Amino acid sequence: MIGDRLMDPSLLQAQRASDRGVLAMRLAITALAIGALHTLFCLLFFQAGYLQLSGRHLLQGVVVFWGGQALLLALFMVYRRLQRPVRWVAFAWYLWILLALLCSAYAMSGFRLSLMLPFFAVMMLASFRHHLGGLTTLASVAVGGYLLVVFALWLRQGYTLDLTLEILQWLLFAATAVSFVVTGLGVSDLRRSLTQKNRDLGDALLQVRDMAIRDELTGLYNRRHIMDVLSQQQALAEAGSYRFALCFVDLDHFKRINDRYGHGVGDAVLRRFGQLARQCLREADYIGRLGGEEFVLVVTQADLAGAARLAERLQQQFRHSLFDDLTPGFGPTLSVGVAGYRPDEALSTTLARADACLYQAKAQGRDCIVTEHQLASAS
Ligand SMILES: Nc1nc2c(ncn2[C@@H]2O[C@H](COP(=O)(O)OP(=O)(O)OP(=O)(O)O)[C@@H](O)[C@H]2O)c(=O)[nH]1
């Protein structure tokens, strides 16, 4: 069945939420990995004697950095659990990593730019969630922060600092950061348009699904879908103490309306019936158009009496509803046949019983309800 193959709206929403969840988790794992890589290289540089700080200070730095990482991860998870946007937690996380990079660059004795390289991984990561504002802010903080590092080093080391080399490194860093902003914007645009296209595709899929299961004129379920519904109801009934009943509903002398007022008015009457029926039904019930002026109600968790009461209500409302285009007294009435599903029987048997009841209602003069009990006691 086409309806089965197309995605259910709730499934589609769940899929979208799960995609967002996967992306968020990937972001957290990458942020942790960048932090771990940076810590590892700090330790290696320290071991090789390129970090100008004591082992105690290094240890303190590592503890503070990972304390912050743990805090941000916890915050991130809480936001995810509360289903709140993690955008700003992620941004704070990028800034935290950036601060660690700048501190370690300050402590490096030589080619300090090497410890700033993970910043570009951060920029790539940020381009998945942030656009122009976020990316330029990150790049500005990095470039400005690096300049401050050079300035602080110059204050500390004075003429012993090779200022030309430091400024050249800073310029290289700034130029690369700008190029990453531009590239990041491209990635961000691409992601946005892909997300939008996916959303449109999902919406189109929902529309197609709706078209596949609904009757175009009345908006009620079509025969194919209502048969699927019946199969599900049958499965429920076979699984336990669950009952459901069917009402076959047919508009009386509908041909006369068509003949007298034209098909347009006939269509309007069918649509009106659809609206009324939907208002009468409980949330859990179903109604479908079998074809022409024939409809079926699937009354869930109900016995014959319950289904007959529902049919009566619908009949009353339809009888008293006003049809602007019809002469008073010429409004159609409803004939209804009611049958309940019996365990272990084929659906076609239940349908045939409901049909026989409807036939009897027509034979009795129309505008009435016949249940299978009445039919059995009459014969
Ligand atoms: N306007 C309109 N008419 C339709 C549609 N589908 C079927 N019909 C008409 O519905 C009428 C059904 O006529 P019949 O089967 O004789 O039924 P009836 O006139 O209601 O008579 P009883 O059912 O015996 O009370 C036919 O004239 C069909 O052309 C539709 O989508 N729109």
CA of 293 to the centre of ligand 1 (A): 6
* 260 within ligand 1 shell (Cβ under 6 A): no
In this prediction, residues 86-90 reach a mean pLDDT of 88
The CATH code of the domain that includes 362 is: 3.30.70.270
Give the domain-ending residue among 150, 178, 208. 208
Whether residue 69 is found in the same domain as residue 182 = yes
* 252 within ligand 1 shell (Cβ under 6 A): yes
Q: Could you tell me if 102 and 149 are in contact, meaning their C-beta atoms sit under 8 angstroms apart?
A: yes
Whether residue 273 is found in the same domain as residue 331 = yes
Mutate-to-test residue for ligand 1 from 215, 218, 253, 255, highest number of ligand atoms within 8 A of CB: 255
CA of 250 to the centre of ligand 1 (A): 9
Whether residue 24 is found in the same domain as residue 152 = yes
Residue 111 Cα to chain centre, angstroms: 49
Band (11; pLDDT cuts 50, 70, 90): low
In a domain, 358, yes or no: yes
Whether residue 50 is found in the same domain as residue 94 = yes
What is the span of the domain harbouring residue 59? Answer: 2-208
Q: Is the pLDDT of residue 293 over 90?
A: yes
Whether residue 62 is found in the same domain as residue 145 = yes
**Of the listed ranges 18-22, 121-125, 257-261, the one predicted with least confidence:** 18-22
In this prediction, residues 263-291 reach a mean pLDDT of 92
DSSP state of 108: B
Band (82; pLDDT cuts 50, 70, 90): confident
In this prediction, residues 369-374 reach a mean pLDDT of 94
Domain count along the chain:
2
The interface predicted TM-score of the complex, written ipTM, equals 0.96
CA of 210 to the centre of ligand 1 (A): 25
Q: Is the pLDDT of residue 52 over 60?
A: yes
Band (109; pLDDT cuts 50, 70, 90): confident
Alpha carbon dihedral 266, 267, 271, 272, in 10-degree steps, equals: -30
Q: Is the pLDDT of residue 9 over 80?
A: no
Q: Could you tell me if 31 and 126 are in contact, meaning their C-beta atoms sit under 8 angstroms apart?
A: no
Residues contacting residue 92 through CB under 8 Å, at least 6 positions apart: 72, 75
Give the domain-ending residue among 179, 208, 237. 208
Cut 0.95: pTM above it:
no
**Length of the chain counted residue by residue:** 379
In a domain, 218, yes or no: no
Q: Is the pLDDT of residue 269 over 60?
A: yes
In a domain, 216, yes or no: no
In a domain, 215, yes or no: no
More reliable by pLDDT, 112 or 21? 112
- For residue 1, the model assigns a pLDDT of 36
> pLDDT digit string (tens) for 314-359?
999 888 876 766 776 677 899 999 999 999 999 999 999 999 999 9
Protein residue whose Cα sits closest to atom 11 of ligand 1: 255
In a domain, 26, yes or no: yes
* 251 within ligand 1 shell (Cβ under 6 A): yes
In a domain, 214, yes or no: no
* 358 within ligand 1 shell (Cβ under 6 A): no
Q: Is the pLDDT of residue 289 over 60?
A: yes
Whether residue 195 is found in the same domain as residue 270 = no
- For residue 3, the model assigns a pLDDT of 38
In this prediction, residues 130-134 reach a mean pLDDT of 88
Band (177; pLDDT cuts 50, 70, 90): very high
Protein residue whose Cα sits closest to atom 13 of ligand 1: 255
DSSP 3-state assignment of 339?
strand
Whether residue 263 is found in the same domain as residue 120 = no
* 293 within ligand 1 shell (Cβ under 6 A): yes
Whether residue 259 is found in the same domain as residue 196 = no
Mutate-to-test residue for ligand 1 from 258, 318, 325, 368, highest number of ligand atoms within 8 A of CB: 258
**Of the listed ranges 241-255, 300-314, 321-335, the one predicted with least confidence:** 321-335
Q: Is the pLDDT of residue 4 over 50?
A: no
Whether residue 204 is found in the same domain as residue 234 = no
- For residue 90, the model assigns a pLDDT of 92
Average pLDDT of the chain, as a whole number: 90
* 250 within ligand 1 shell (Cβ under 6 A): yes
Band (14; pLDDT cuts 50, 70, 90): low
Q: Provide, rounded to the nearest whole percent, the portion of the chain with pLDDT above 70.
A: 93
* 263 within ligand 1 shell (Cβ under 6 A): yes
Whether residue 94 is found in the same domain as residue 172 = yes
Kindly write down the DSSP assignment for every residue of 25-91, as one continuous string. HHHHHHHHHHHHHHHHHHHHHHHTT-B-S-HHHHHHHHHHHHHHHHHHHHHHHHHHHTT---HHHHH
Protein residue whose Cα sits closest to atom 21 of ligand 1: 253
In a domain, 213, yes or no: no
Give the domain-ending residue among 208, 240, 274. 208
Whether residue 197 is found in the same domain as residue 229 = no
Q: Is the pLDDT of residue 376 over 90?
A: no
Whether residue 240 is found in the same domain as residue 289 = yes
In a domain, 217, yes or no: no
Whole-angstrom distance, CA of residue 309 vs CA of residue 299: 11
Whole-angstrom distance, CA of residue 265 vs CA of residue 330: 12
In this prediction, residues 1-22 reach a mean pLDDT of 57
Protein residue whose Cα sits closest to atom 14 of ligand 1: 255
Band (230; pLDDT cuts 50, 70, 90): very high
